[in-house]
Structure 1
Amino acid sequence: MGDRVEISPHDPGFRGSWYAGTVVRREAKNTNRYVVEYDQLYEDESGEKLLQETLDWIQLRPPPPPPEKKKVQFKFGDEVEAFYSDGWWEGSIIAEHSGGKFAVFLRGFEEQIVFEEKDLRLPVQWVKGKWEPRFEQFTQGMQVEVLTDEDGLKGAWFAATIIEPSGEDKYLIEYKTLRNDDDTEFLREDIRACNIRPCPPEIIVVDGFKVMDEVDAYYNEGWWVGVIAKFWVLFPSTAALLHASPDGGSFSGLVLSA
């Protein structure tokens, strides 16, 4: 034991985060569960004793490899992990600031926070004993959604079809609703893989939407990431508000964000 790991905490309030820690021991009765100790989380507010938890193996992974020597060029729309509150939290860049700083919407906190570049890293996943970029390999003809960088459309996901790979971690896609400048055919673009996602599954919201839910709202031919503020949806990427009328106890044109 004593292996260094990153830990996805058990508490629902820590969903989407990874914290550094050490394996203390494996459970004797269930070899798929481990006792781990966090580096920077404590049992109480006094900060005298480090927190230990017993977790399933799937909540543990080796520490990710150090960043490559080639500097990562972060930009609007990138999915990232940001170091905040002693852990790495999932989020997406919603604005670029001067001085190498970026505004990141952290899903776990449902708020926008500005980070320096040194506190960001690209998401990776531990798959079958090796590290892989956290995006799927897309195949020709696959139905997807695309995050575009075009002015006026930033922050929205648009339905598209994969045409073919077009370079390292890039794909040629054809939009289903956006058309070219002369309106003769559907628009095609080369898109980075990290800006492509499979079409989200249909999610039935039993209890309806509520204030502060993070949602995707269908507007202007695409799905825009937003947060419900009373009967309005706030789009953090544009600071715009969209009215969402209640319809049978829920909101029309909304789905929970993927």
Structure 2
Amino acid sequence: MAPKPTTVSTTRWRFQPGTRVEISPNDVGFVGSWFTGTVLKAYRNKYLVQYETLVTDLDPSEPVRETLDVSQLRPFPSRETLRELRVGDDVDAYYNEGWWEGVVTEELAGGRLGVFFRASREHIGFEKEDLRLHRDWVHGKWVPPFQQDEKVSSTTEVKVKSIEAKTTQEIFSKGTLVEVGSDEDGFHGAWFAATIVAEAVGKGKFLVQYQSLRTDDDSGFLREEIDTLHIRPYPPETLVVDRFNLYEEVDACYNDGWWVGVISKVLVGTKYRVFFRDTNEEMEFQHSNLRPHQEWIDGKWVMASLAQEL
């Protein structure tokens, strides 16, 4: 029997591991603030995240990790052409390693703007480059929406086309979020989220730091030199698949990475059996721990075709 086409939802949003997001802590003293971080693991309605700027009290080199509700996350905001801020504008001000909601109350000397924070009742002066228009993430949309003029949009399109024309090595730079694969026994068919630490430490190689894999002594996140054949960009965020179908290729989130498999059985509710050819194993997964399988081919992401047989 031929598999049915995949149905895609256009009304829901899901953050994949490795996605850069903004996080709203629910601790006292953090009301109205957003901090940059990365999703490490996705559960049903919760996510394990790691902050970029907040560190633990015991180790200043160790980023804070938390498991938070989906309501405390939102996509990393787009860049836009910023109009002149005016008195009365609701803004976010970059302060104490995060973005804090306030309102512009006055123009100060030197082009600075005074911002009042309702939550803390403080009034602080800021350079304009440390301010942005305040927006809320409501039902999968920014309110108010981002405004970009034609020049910015055209420039963005040119950049996208130029990226497609570049080689794999050229599109990677320091700080780029990537996925790393391995040919080692027990890891074939798995991809792990990592960040480029240094460019071209050897011919055709990069130094990467994994987002979830740690050193043997658990002293920090594992770093390795990887050749370009085993590095690819992090897959683009996709719309949520309402239901996976029999024989469909998927990536399953397991043991801190994404493993390529095939849906071998659709179970009751939101569960599936997934067969892994490389290990000849079959395991059960929740829908939230699966994503459509894609391949990075000739500088482009290609959605995998449905498998014909196990």
TM-score by length of 2: 0.41
> TM-score by structure 1 length?
0.49
> Which of the pair has the greater relative contact order for Cα pairs under 8 Å at 6+ separation?
2
Structure having the higher strand fraction is: 1
Asked which structure has the greater CA Rg, the reply is 2
Bigger share in helix: 2
